Amino acid sequence: MDEYRQEVINWTDTLDFIPTRAVVLLAENKLDNIIELTPKVNENVLDFPTYDTMWRFKNGFDSLWIKNNANKFREIGFRVFDSDIFGIIFGLEDTNFDFYFEHFEPLYNAFYSLPVAKH
């Protein structure tokens, strides 16, 4: 594996992992107020990504970057939510492919090139 790809994997390892099912259960039982920040197919229904894991940045400043760039996340294939319990979280619809390089590599590139995320 080349150095760049390993760097992307190492970067994703810095994210918090949250089981999607936990988010769904909290929302279904009205224990958490969750809204989707990315454009939805059906505005009247709150549904969640089908992949079993969601993620969040550990740094609140990075979460602000997500809020400001939710449309870019959607272009890359992520859906972004704002949760009272978890803060800003994001997930994928499906992963019948190498999601590191179909989704996280473009996210990594966007994160280090879009405004507000210069580290």
Question: Tens digits of per-residue pLDDT, 63-105?
Answer: 888 888 888 888 888 899 999 999 999 998 766 566 677 777 8
- pLDDT at site 117: 45
Name the residue type at position 59: N
- pLDDT at site 80: 92
pTM to 2 decimal places: 0.78
9, pLDDT greater than 80: yes
118, pLDDT greater than 50: no
Annotate 25-59 with DSSP letters as a single string: HHHHTTSS-EEE-S--S-TT-----SSSEEEE-SS
User: Helix, strand or coil for residue 91?
Assistant: strand
Digit-coded pLDDT (tens) for 27-64:
999 999 999 998 776 666 778 888 889 999 887 778 88
Distances in whole angstroms, Cα of residue 92 to Cα of each of 20, 110, 115: 10, 17, 23
Report which DSSP code applies to 86. T
Among 114, 100, 87, residue whose Cα is nearest residue 8 = 100
User: Helix, strand or coil for residue 64?
Assistant: helix
- pLDDT at site 85: 94
Show Cβ contacts of residue 98 under 8 Å, excluding neighbours closer than 6 positions.
Answer: none
- pLDDT at site 119: 44
Which of 4-13, 60-69, 109-118 is the least confident region?
A: 109-118
- pLDDT at site 114: 61
